[in-house]
Chain A
Amino acid sequence: MEIQGYTLPDELYYEENHYWVKEEGDLLVMGMDDFAQKMAGEIVFVQLPEEGKELTAGKKFAKIESGKWLGKVFAPVNGELAAVNEELETNPGLINSDCYGKGWIYKIKPSDKGEVANLIHGKEAVEKWVLAEIEKYAKE
Chain B
Amino acid sequence: MEAKYDFEKKYREQILQCSRCGFCQSVCPVYGATLRPALNARGKMLLLKEVMDGKIELGKELIDSLFQCTTCASCANNCPSGVNVPEIIKQVRKDMVNIGSCHPAFAGMNEVLQKATNIYAEDELPDFDRKRDQKAAYVYFIGCVGAYREDEATEGALDLLDRLSVDYTLISEVCCSGVLEDVGYSLNPKLASQNLERIFATGAKTVITGCPYCYRTFTQRQEYDELRKRGITVLHISQFLKDLDFGVTTDKKVTYHDPCDLGRHCGIYEEPRATIRKIAPDFVEMQHHHADSLCCGAGGGVRGAYAKNSLAMARRRLKEAEDTGAEILLTECNSCVHNLANAKLRKQNIKIYNTTAFINELMHRKAKDK
Binding site for B on A (CB under 8 A): 42, 44-45, 48, 50, 65, 67-70, 84, 86, 89-90
- How many inter-chain contacts with C-beta < 8 Å in the A-B complex? 32
B346-A68 in contact (CB<8A): no
Q: Which residues of B contact A89 (CB under 8 A)?
A: 345-346
Closest to A50 in B: B346
Q: A45-B311, A86-B346, A89-B346 are in contact. Are A67 and B304 (CB under 8 A)?
A: yes
How far apart sit A67 and B119, CA to CA, in the bound complex (Å)? Answer: 11
Question: Which secondary structure characterizes the binding site on chain A?
Answer: mixed
Out of A45, A48, A70, name the residue touching B346 (CB < 8 Å): A48
Given the known interface contacts A48-B346, A89-B346, the answer about A68 and B121 at a Cβ–Cβ threshold of 8 Å is yes
Residues from chain A with Cβ under 8 Å of B149 in the complex? 70
B residues in contact (CB < 8 Å) with A: 105, 108-109, 112, 119-121, 148-149, 304-305, 307-308, 311, 342, 345-346
The reply to whether B307 and A67 form a contact with Cβ atoms under 8 Å apart is yes
Q: Counting chain A CB atoms within 10 Å of each CB, which of B109, B305, B307 scores highest?
A: B307
In the assembled complex, the Cα of A86 lies from the Cα of B346 at a distance in Å of: 8
Collect the chain B residues with CB atoms within 8 Å of residue A67's CB.
Answer: 105, 304-305, 307
Q: Which residue of A lies closest to B315 (CB)?
A: A90
Chain B residues within 8 Å of A84, by CB: 346
Q: What residues of chain A lie closer than 8 Å to B345, measured between beta carbons? A: 89-90
28 contacts between A and B (CB under 8 A): A42-B307, A44-B307, A44-B311, A44-B342, A45-B311, A45-B342, A48-B346, A50-B346, A65-B342, A67-B105, A67-B304, A67-B305, A67-B307, A68-B105, A68-B108, A68-B109, A68-B112, A68-B119, A68-B120, A68-B121, A68-B304, A69-B120, A70-B120, A70-B148, A70-B149, A84-B346, A89-B345, A89-B346
Cα-based distance from A48 to B342 in the complex (angstroms):
10
A14 to B52, CA, bound (A): 56
Q: Taking the nearest CB of chain B, how far is it from the CB of A69, in angstroms?
A: 8
Q: Which residues of A contact B120 (CB under 8 A)?
A: 68-70
How long is the Cα–Cα vector from A84 to B346 in the complex, in angstroms?
11
Query: Cα distance A89–B347 when bound, in Å?
Result: 11
Q: How far is the CB of A65 from chain B (nearest CB, A)?
A: 7
Which of chain B's residues has its CB closest to A91's CB? Answer: B308
| Nearest chain A CB to B314 CB, angstrom units | 11
A86 neighbours in B (Cβ, 8 Å): 346
